[in-house]
């Protein structure tokens, strides 16, 4: 059975009454070159996030890994069997929650297996995702814009800022 996430978005009508603005499949699903699927659920472009009665769907913009400056992003990633993402780094704090399946998070010199119910807090490290199992794996990612401290940039080298991943469909 194919995975089909449901997205429900609330808002307000012209009288200020709480309403459902949309209920259905996420309107944007993208495929990365490695075969991973990105179900774009929602994003914000500022903090605090502006809350209006209704607004244009923010998922219909280009696919980016880190959110907009000061923003957030939530997506569901589906990793088919055998998928290996490119090694990458983002200037963000990402909360990854394994919904089902099994993925391997690979860092510079170590790795760990994550299974359904596991949560990883990914904090700007160089990493990649691998699905070494025979079944699809799915994770929810909540991405929060971040900024490397001066001391971390000094440790990693100034070139690190020019090597950050921005669009996983064009690594």
Question: What is the count of structural domains for the chain?
Answer: 1
Q: What pLDDT score was predicted for residue 60?
A: 81
Tell me the longest C-alpha to C-alpha distance in the chain: 57
Q: What pLDDT score was predicted for residue 63?
A: 67
Q: Is residue 132 part of a domain?
A: yes
| Beta-bridge partners for 141 | 75, 96
Q: Is residue 156 part of a domain?
A: yes
Q: Is residue 130 part of a domain?
A: yes
pTM: 0.90
Range of the domain at 154: 7-163
Q: What pLDDT score was predicted for residue 171?
A: 54
- Can you give the CATH number for the domain in which 121 is found? 2.60.120.10
Q: Is residue 171 part of a domain?
A: no
Outline where DSSP puts E strands in 15-91.
18-24, 28-31, 37-44, 72-79
Q: Is residue 169 part of a domain?
A: no
Count of residues in the chain? 171
Q: Is residue 170 part of a domain?
A: no
Q: What pLDDT score was predicted for residue 62?
A: 66
Q: What pLDDT score was predicted for residue 1?
A: 47
- Cis ω before 48 (30° cut-off from 0): yes
Q: What pLDDT score was predicted for residue 7?
A: 97
Taking the C-alpha atoms of residue 20 and residue 10, their distance in angstroms, rounded to an integer, is 4
Q: What pLDDT score was predicted for residue 50?
A: 86
Q: What pLDDT score was predicted for residue 167?
A: 65
Q: Is residue 2 part of a domain?
A: no
Q: Is residue 85 part of a domain?
A: yes
DSSP letter assigned to residue 85: P
**Mean pLDDT in consecutive groups of 10 residues from the start of the chain, 171 residues:** 87 95 94 92 91 87 78 95 94 96 97 98 96 97 94 92 74 54
């Amino acid at each position: 059975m194919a995975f089909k996430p449901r997205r429900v978005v609330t808002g307000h009508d012209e009288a200020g009454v709480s309403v459902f603005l949309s209920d259905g499949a996420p309107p944007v699903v993208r495929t990365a070159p490695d075969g991973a699927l990105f179900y774009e659920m929602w994003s914000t472009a500022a903090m605090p996030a502006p809350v209006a009665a209704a607004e244009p769907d923010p998922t219909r913009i280009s696919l980016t890994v880190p959110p907009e400056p000061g923003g957030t992003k939530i997506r569901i990633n589906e990793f088919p069997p055998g998928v290996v993402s490119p090694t990458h780094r983002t200037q963000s704090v990402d909360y990854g929650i394994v919904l089902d399946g099994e993925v391997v998070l690979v860092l510079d010199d170590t790795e760990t297996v994550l299974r359904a119910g596991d949560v990883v807090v990914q904090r700007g490290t160089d990493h990649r995702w691998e699905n070494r199992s025979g079944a699809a794996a799915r994770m929810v990612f909540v991405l929060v814009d971040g900024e490397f401290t001066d001391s971390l940039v000094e440790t990693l080298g100034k070139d690190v800022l020019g090597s950050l991943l921005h669009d996983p469909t064009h690594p």
